[in-house]
Amino acid sequence: MKSADMSLNNAKALIFDVFGTVVDWRTSIAKEAADMLQPKGYDIDWHAFADAWRRRYQPAMEEVRSGTRPFTKLDILHRENLENILPEFGISGLSDLELDHLNRAWHRLSPWDDSPLGLTRLKKKFIIATQSNGNVALMVNMAKHAGLPWDTILGAEVCQAYKPMPESYLRACDLLGLAPSEVIMTAAHNDDLKAAARCGLRTAFVPRPTEHGPGQIKDLTPDPSIDISAISFIDLADKLGCP
Amino acid sequence: MKSADMSLNNAKALIFDVFGTVVDWRTSIAKEAADMLQPKGYDIDWHAFADAWRRRYQPAMEEVRSGTRPFTKLDILHRENLENILPEFGISGLSDLELDHLNRAWHRLSPWDDSPLGLTRLKKKFIIATQSNGNVALMVNMAKHAGLPWDTILGAEVCQAYKPMPESYLRACDLLGLAPSEVIMTAAHNDDLKAAARCGLRTAFVPRPTEHGPGQIKDLTPDPSIDISAISFIDLADKLGCP
């Protein structure tokens, strides 16, 4: 890793990946699905349900990235993906209201324990903003639910481009009125960070070793190209000199 | 005025005009201009300077609204307008850095006394977002400076349309995932509120009787079509049942 002092001195803002980095989507989605569907008599592996739903996330965005489909907000992609996986798990007969409630479980994801306090400390010294593929309403509602003190919501819908497209990172910097070298992309995912680095942003890695459950093998350690690594947002705040 | 109970029951979000409604641009700009230019020997009416700068605001945006010019962020329009008025006041010889610093006085406007606390209370019950013609960086920096606890920054740059264009209000609602009838536009300006109402939004008027100085004659009282009126953001929080 490069010296943090060398490359991060000019940083004015941190922008964050959210699903997996700030919130624990897998546990939250499994719990919400179980809460709604167990009382209806369904008895399935709820974490497998969450994984199946999430597995359709990248392919759905890829249709937009490739230009096959105009920009479509993630709430709509999530809903289509939900309706596609329900038959795989033998689930049927949900009302439109129930489908909408379950789809909006993504608006109610729980934060990792260190997220609210870590972000609150980072906010004292830096602008903090989401740079998620989640749409604005999803991120605003999640922030209210999970106590995430964002200065503003950026990301795919505002930038009209899904990560890891370069436009996504570059438009976020432009909206903040900052050079890419003044912005630190923060994520638990090396691929996201490497894409941001190719656009000139600085990078911070915070591992979330149980994002994908107990058997996770990906993203346990930072790529050598990453500028700074921390074990939590609290640790990141310490390392970046936030009170 | 209509009964607040009748039309505001469904409200989930308040979106705010900012210049004049949340912050006192005239006093702030006059002070910043004086702070920079008095030591250089200039002795002019600093409030007249602020008024002259602001007078070029609507015509500059009108070029964008009319399609004569592609969408251009307010920081750039402000800078052009500044360079246009300086000769009118006999001011010359400022460096690019000084011009940039003075232009960014709009990022450092001071709030009206009731704004930080009133917004903090309104945020407990509602989503609160800017719906200003100011660009994202301007609004984010102002929020840090003035202690304005926005949930997110919307407005002209995110919506790619300057108020009072209908797209501006309607895109803000769409980004929040809300129907216009679930969103209250809040402003000290009747024209802004009437434009929002034509798009189906609810409206709240908070007078700022000294925005334009001691002789102000405009926007002292709400238009009869406005849904709710309050004398301050604290009063608005009271009337909307915010703890």
Last residue of a domain, one of B108, B139, B169: B108
**What percentage of chain A has pLDDT greater than the value 70?**
98
Is A153 in Cβ contact with B150 (below 8 Å)?
no
Distance of alpha carbon A236 from the chain centroid: 17
CATH assignment of the domain containing A203: 3.40.50.1000
pLDDT over 60 at B183, yes or no: yes
Domain boundary among B79, B108, B137: B108
Say if residue A84 is in the same domain as residue A139.
Answer: no
The beta-carbon neighbor of B176 closest among A137, A143, A177 is A137
B34 with B55, same domain: the answer is: yes
Same domain, A150 and A89: no
User: Where residue A1 falls among pLDDT bands split at 50, 70, 90?
Assistant: very low
What's residue A7's pLDDT? 76
Mutate to test the interface with A, among B175, B176, B182, B183 (most CBs of A within 10 A): B175
pLDDT digits (tens, 9 = 90+) for B9-30: 899 999 999 999 999 999 999 9
Does B139 lie in the same domain as B102?
A: no
Going by pLDDT thresholds of 50, 70 and 90, the confidence category of residue B5 is very low
Give A-chain residues touching B103 at CB under 8 angstroms.
Answer: none
- Euclidean distance between CA atoms B198 and A96, whole angstroms: 30
Q: Mention every residue, 6+ apart, whose C-beta is less than 8 A from residue A191.
A: A164
pLDDT band of residue A105 (cuts 50, 70, 90) is very high
CA distance A155 to A136: 8
A153 confidence band (pLDDT: 50, 70, 90): very high
Q: pLDDT (tens digit, 9 = 90+) per residue, A51-72? A: 999 999 999 999 999 999 999 9
β-sheet bridge partners, residue B23: B19, B111
From chain B, the residues in CB contact with A137 under 8 A are 175-178
Question: CA-CA distance, B123 to B237, in Å (whole number)?
Answer: 9
- pTM (2 d.p.): 0.96
Residue range B36-41: average pLDDT? 98
The pLDDT of residue B6 is: 54
> Would the CB atoms of B176 and A140 count as touching at under 8 Å?
yes
* Tally of domains within chain B: 2
For B136, the closest chain A residue by CA position comes to A175
DSSP B23-48: B-HHHHHHHHHHHHHGGGT----HHH
For chain B, the distance separating the N- and C-terminal CA atoms, rounded to the nearest angstrom, is 24
**B131 shares a domain with B98:** no
How do residues A202-218 score in pLDDT, each as one tens digit? Answer: 999 999 999 999 999 99
In terms of domains, do A143 and A182 share one? yes
Q: What's the sign of the alpha-carbon dihedral B129, B135, B136, B139?
A: negative
| pLDDT(B4) > 90 | no
pLDDT at A156 over 70: yes
Structure confidence at residue A171 as a pLDDT band (50, 70, 90)? very high
Give yes or no for a contact between B201 and B180, defined as CB atoms under 8 angstroms apart: yes
Q: What is the pLDDT of residues A113-134, one digit of tens each?
A: 999 999 999 999 999 999 999 9
pLDDT band at A6 (very low <50, low <70, confident <90, very high): low
- Give yes or no for A199 touching B (CB within 8 A): no
Q: Which of A81, A108, A135 is the last residue of a domain?
A: A108
Same domain, A147 and A160: yes
List B152's β-bridge partners, or say none: B129
Q: Same structural domain for residues A216 and A129?
A: yes
Mean pLDDT of the A68-91 span: 98
| Residues within 8 A of A (CB atoms), B 153-192 only | 153, 157-158, 175-178
Q: Which pLDDT score is estimated for B7?
A: 76
Question: What ipTM describes this predicted complex?
Answer: 0.95
Let me know whether B123 and B166 are in one domain: yes
Residue A201 pLDDT > 70, yes or no? yes
Domain check: are B101 and B134 in the same one?
no
Interface test with B, best of A152, A153, A154 (most B CBs within 10 A): A152
Query: What CATH number did the domain enclosing A103 receive?
Result: 1.10.150.240
Mean per-residue pLDDT, B29-36: 98
**Domain hosting residue B30, numbered range:** 25-108
Residues A83 and A119 in one domain: no
In 3D, which of A8, A16, A50 has the Cα closest to residue A146? A16
Whether the predicted pLDDT of B1 surpasses 60: no
The answer to whether residues B144 and B222 belong to one domain is: yes
